[in-house]
Structure 1
Amino acid sequence: MAAVQKLQKCAVSPAGKHTASVIFLHGSGDTGRGLRAWVRDVTEPDLSFNHIRIIYPTAPARPYTPMRGALSTVWFDRHKISRDCPEDRESIDDMCNSLGLIIQGEVNAGIPKHRIVIGGFSMGGAMALHLACRYHPDVAGVFALSSFLNKDSAAYQAVEERLGADLPLPELLQCHGSKDDLVLHQWGEDTSELLKKAGMATTFHSFPGLHHQLSTPEMELLRGWILTKIPPLTSS
């Protein structure tokens, strides 16, 4: 197992007192700053809150097998982009440990885990699902935008085990564009159904005309959902 890495990140500070946090993970090949700029470009008004700090980490560059071993800022490696192949569990678990440092940093700053939401776009959404379902199921919620899990993902197994032990799980918001690659859209929808079957409370939204990208209506939906999971405190 690789050493736990301290990840680079950028953040949007709340306008008022910091009482909750969102960790938003970019897609493969992007950066935290790149995702932050994209969110700002498609969101009116900007995705910012009076009480929530939004953190955009950057994945470290690693050899990425689907790119024939070329370096890319990806959260984990894949043997290939196929729902039927095994997950690269070692790289996923290593990154869960590194992202756990960011969660712990927010807890150390006084933010309880039930006031933290984790999510991401594309590969970032898959990473968020592993992080929330397997390592930090006591967060307020998890969102996955244009994302999918492999058929035998360890995340499904973790959800089933927690359900069997009558332990709580975070709720999932999952979104996908109807104009994304048909295989990927179906893959994303199947991910939602398999998580629901395993025992997780899930909501799936398909956005007409949207490709593998973010959109203003999607971000408006996300903003409202975040506020239901981590609303302002009455004392803040």
Structure 2
Amino acid sequence: MAAVRKLQICVISPSRKHSASVIFLHGSGDCGSGLRSWVRDVLDPDLVFSHIRVIYPTAPLRPYTPMRGALSNVWFDRYKISRDSPEHLESIDHMCDPLGSLIQDQVRAGIPKHRIIIGGFSMGGAMALHLACRHHPDVGGVFALSSFLNKDSVAFQAVKERHKAGLPLPHLFQCHGSSDELVLHQWGEETSELLRKSGMSSSFHSFLGLNHQLSQPELELLRGWILNRVPDTSPTSSP
């Protein structure tokens, strides 16, 4: 598979000194600026911070099997949208390098990895879980909204091995709509439970009546979790 070029990104800068970063990955078929607009439309006030840079990357175009091979902006391929399907591990691993480079860009900008949070919506959440569980377990946290991992995901084994070795793991924050018809609520809940049993600390939040979409209460909860993981430590920050 050909090398992926540097990802296009949409960046929301903090109002004061940049001391933490959030990388927010879109769902299949979307783009970074599309997710950023969706968040802004749903959440009032916006998902902006005085000290956190929020980065919305765009996945490159690639053939997507659930769309009969049509090109789509997706982080990886799927054999089908199901927890029972094997993972398309080659395409998942292919995206770990450019997304890892994006994390390293933040480190080079002076942000410690424990003050970098990565997460996403739907497929973006699954991609974030692979990054955090398998390649960057020293990030400050990982979140997954309306997302799931396949039941035999290699991410579960990676978490088990780190936990058994006494190595640190990031905290997981998950949200899922009870009425989700594309990514079933049960899939998200089972993902959270399997990661917790493997040794990962996690919190799972259900939203009654929510389908496969973002909601203001969900994003407000996410904003509070982010601020708890990477608080503003500058002398001018509010107590």
Letter of the 1:5 counterpart: R
The aligned residue for residue 97 of structure 2 is 97
The whole-number CA distance in structure 1 between the counterparts of 2:19 and 2:182 is 40
Matches within 5 A, 1:109-188: 109-181=109-181, 184-188=184-188
2:203 counterpart SS class: strand
Letter in 2 for 1:117: I
Q: CA deviation at 1:179?
A: 1.2
CA contact (8 A) 2:133 2:158 kept: yes
Shift of 1:183: 6.3
Cα deviation per residue 1:45-100 (whole Å; 9 max; x = unaligned)? 00000000000000001000111100000000011112112111111011011101
C-alpha separation in 1, matches of 2:170 and 2:125: 14
Deviations 1:121-155 (A, max 9, x none): 00000000001000000000000000000011011
Q: CA separation of 1:55/1:62 partners in 2, compared to 1, >3 Å: closer, same or farther? A: same
| Distance in 2, Cα, partners of 1:72 & 1:175 | 25
TM-score, reference length from structure 1 = 0.98
Deviation at 1:4? 4.2
What 5-or-longer segments of structure 2 have no aligned partner? Answer: none
The residue number in structure 2 matching 1:60 is 60
Greater CA deviation, 122-131 or 179-188? 179-188
Flag as ranges the 4+ runs of structure 1 deviating above 6 A. Answer: none
| Partner Cα separation in structure 1 for residue 122 and residue 210 of structure 2 | 14
Q: Which residue of 2 aligns with 1:21?
A: 21
For 2:76, give the aligned amino acid.
F
Q: Hey, what's the Cα distance between the residues in 2 that align with 1:137 and 1:221?
A: 23
- Give the TM-score normalised by the residue count of structure 2: 0.96
**How far 1:181 moved relative to its partner?**
1.8
Deviation of 1:235 (Å): 3.7
SS in 2 for 1:21: strand
Determine the structure 2 residue equivalent to 1:227: 227
Distance 2:82 2:186 in 1: 12
CA deviation after TM superposition for structure 1 residue 2, in Å:
3.6
Question: Is the partner of 1:76 in helix, strand or coil?
Answer: coil
Q: Percent identity?
A: 75
Q: Distance in 2 between matches of 1:45 and 1:138?
A: 30
**Mapped partners of 1:52, 1:36: distance in 2:** 15
Q: Is the 8 A contact 2:138 2:168 kept in 1?
A: yes
| Contact kept? 1:26, 1:124, Cα under 8 Å | yes
Where 1:118 maps in the other structure, the secondary structure is: strand
Alignment check: 8 A CA contact 1:2 1:94 kept: no
